[in-house]
Structure 1
């Protein structure tokens, strides 16, 4: 029976997913990111030290527990790919060349309440860059460009990457006289979920803010712009702080770099904070136009202190596409389609069961030239074999004979053909993935 939060795609959806993963992978490699895969489990204390709550981590236990194997009880399934990556970097620093650029496409597990586009088991596609001691800021400006190129290679609605910098928020809060900046960040990050009135009340109650300070925090969170005008908007609020100045300068670099590369891709959105504690600077969240109410489908940021060993530090910046979340939303609104239900381009008809060897030879000749081919399951009447192909969207049926012929069952056109030289139209060789107009918003 189905288990909520653990998606299982049908074959047409899985073909779309594989196409999407191929395009994402190709874009990552175009930018020079190298592939990596890490283990599914991490020590529980590692997972819980990075800002995630214990209720969201799945523990790993054997069905028949060995009471003497206490280590088994302290393992959990990873809830993202950044924490395992940081651990991997520390353990393998002597074997890596820095700055180290990697991409990672893996399943992760998170004990959240399942809902549309949000799962307990899901696929992520991450890129990160880490370096020793210091990481130049230009990598922060590169992350949105990679994601923008990946999304443009796919039949998706336009994406908008919302960018902020925690230094802007923290510096602003300090400039207001608020000391518990982490609590203020966590509270403001709930703005879209609980609204300004409840955020104001929580700021007063949990962060010690006055009504005026809470109002100023909301004024900052309301600022958004696709160009550098956000800097003047922040300045008009009259708060001064060195960290605020540093954060505004960094955020301006990200927005201006994206504006040169892909106008409209990035928007400074000063309410974005991200929930995980390890982010220290730039943060990203991404929405699809028409699907804004479902929240972010791609997020990440700068983390300067996540990976460290003794006095050695490995600062990094990364961004992650929630592949299952993205596809789940689009599948749910019938916004992605595929031209056929199977990869097969040609069905070789079977006149008689004793001709199967000859049909297998024809199929082999077609496959040797990269044409996806299968042989009919039984020697039924040709009309039934054609209907078998039609139900699966297979465009061509091959009839052995003297000579062989191949039929486009959509148009009815049938021509003589040789399995060693016949070619299908390029558009029919593999299933075509397409976007479908959808009004999700």
Structure 2
């Protein structure tokens, strides 16, 4: 990812960088499944009508058609195809179409590429991988899943050893109830203004509230006072109450956020933050909202975000509420690689290079390789019988720790020796029983010291 891309916004990785990405994906997959989530994959293509159902983002959607399709411009949105720009919209369609085959609450995770026509910059790409984890219900969804999602994501990111991070949590009911309590009924408009707080600052946000929503100085200041509350425990409840605003929706949001933060702080202290400036400007969020930042890399933006939506999808007769989070895998991996936050212990999967003493020993070397591979030891065989020093150098460049030598004894039997090229130690070895240490068996991704 450090190389100059020939197509801007479409990243490609070197083999050792791909090892880091695979480690991230494998860790997420393992953690999601430990919590009971099932994996699905949806198609990359949706109809334009389906993709634009949740908002006007047509400038970011990549349409697709056959190069010689003369009717592509006259087709209706139901007929026009486009690449999905996230995994939530395809998931909503998937739930509706397969509702009769799913058990609810349905817990799914999904890791796929998505495409978005954004201006490429640090952390933003046109083609990138997302990892989504959601729970969706049929008609209703217990609130406890909002807590579960926070714990799943915290556990996943902790396992990646990416340094300190903060899962910032708020609740739309809390915010909307507060705004109604101070007389601002256009709560969606207030949320969109508050969502710009980190970009333009409190003074500019206050002016937006007054100019666009007709807020008084007192109302604008009250909205900012709420947004400035940020605690790592449930003490935010008292801070909100001190503001003296009352509304039933506010009370409901306070109770829900208190449960999320209380449980997460108990199990993952230091990683959860009640941050009442988090607005998530998208209209479909209805309760808990999440954003995650890497400490020291805040300018990268959120690496994981999401929230509760009371209507993920509907087929007219049934409504499917849900709660979910999306991890920007490519954004996260790009920062891990560029900042050397974690690195693979070697560039290739192979733990052993089987050297050739002569071209005639290639078949014997393959026998050794077969024996090692049958026992789960990744290895490769030299293609030519170059000088041993050159073969060892080849292994060294790739980070392969062991070189295996096969020679013929005076009685015609084969002699096997394996050399640890890091220490120089060389010992006789039996292909049927020898194995590297647990640490050397597989590539490991190690956090920077």
**TM bucket normalised to smaller:** over 0.9
Q: Distance in 2 between matches of 1:317 and 1:351?
A: 61
The alignment covers a number of residue pairs equal to 437
Matches within 5 A, 1:213-292: 213-292=219-298
Q: Distance in 1 between matches of 2:199 and 2:53?
A: 25
User: Residue 132 of structure 1 aligns with which residue?
Assistant: 138
User: Residue 70 of structure 1 aligns with which residue?
Assistant: 75
User: Residue 23 of structure 1 aligns with which residue?
Assistant: 27
TM-score by length of 2: 0.94
Matches within 5 A, 1:113-192: 113-192=119-198
User: Residue 419 of structure 1 aligns with which residue?
Assistant: 431
Worse-superposed segment, 312-321 or 284-293: 284-293
Q: Distance in 2 between matches of 1:352 and 1:277?
A: 70
Worse-superposed segment, 386-395 or 61-70: 61-70
C-alpha contact 1:52 1:276 (8 A) present in aligned 2: no
Q: Distance in 1 between matches of 2:363 and 2:80?
A: 56
Give ranges in structure 2 of 5+ residues lacking alignment. Answer: 410-414
Q: CA deviation at 1:99?
A: 0.8
C-alpha contact 1:108 1:123 (8 A) present in aligned 2: yes
The structure 2 residue matched to 1:335, chosen from 341, 352, 359, is 341
What is the root-mean-square deviation of aligned Cα atoms in Å?
A: 1.5
Q: Distance in 2 between matches of 1:61 and 1:101?
A: 34
Q: CA deviation at 1:187?
A: 1.3
Large movers: runs of 4+ above 6 Å: none
Q: Distance in 2 between matches of 1:220 and 1:6?
A: 40
Q: CA deviation at 1:71?
A: 5.5
Q: Distance in 2 between matches of 1:306 and 1:51?
A: 14
Whether 1:312 and 2:327 are equivalent positions in the alignment is no
C-alpha contact 1:335 1:436 (8 A) present in aligned 2: yes
C-alpha contact 2:361 2:406 (8 A) present in aligned 1: no
Q: Distance in 2 between matches of 1:145 and 1:112?
A: 31
Q: Distance in 2 between matches of 1:43 and 1:170?
A: 34
Could you list the per-position Cα deviations for residues 217-254 of structure 1 after superposition, in whole angstroms to 9, with x for gaps in the alignment? Answer: 11111111111111111112222111111111111110
Structure 1 pair 34–52 and aligned structure 2 pair: CA distance change class (3 A) = farther
Q: Distance in 1 between matches of 2:65 and 2:277?
A: 40
Q: CA deviation at 1:52?
A: 5.1
Give ranges in structure 1 of 5+ residues lacking alignment. Answer: none
Q: Distance in 1 between matches of 2:88 and 2:254?
A: 25
Q: CA deviation at 1:46?
A: 2.5
C-alpha contact 2:170 2:275 (8 A) present in aligned 1: yes
Structure 1 pair 232–411 and aligned structure 2 pair: CA distance change class (3 A) = same
Could you list the per-position Cα deviations for residues 179-202 of structure 1 after superposition, in whole angstroms to 9, with x for gaps in the alignment? Answer: 221111111101111111221222
Q: Distance in 1 between matches of 2:327 and 2:221?
A: 33
Q: Distance in 2 between matches of 1:52 and 1:357?
A: 62
SS at match of 2:356: coil
Q: Distance in 1 between matches of 2:347 and 2:192?
A: 45
Q: Distance in 2 between matches of 1:52 and 1:187?
A: 18
SS at match of 2:312: coil
Q: Distance in 2 between matches of 1:376 and 1:65?
A: 50
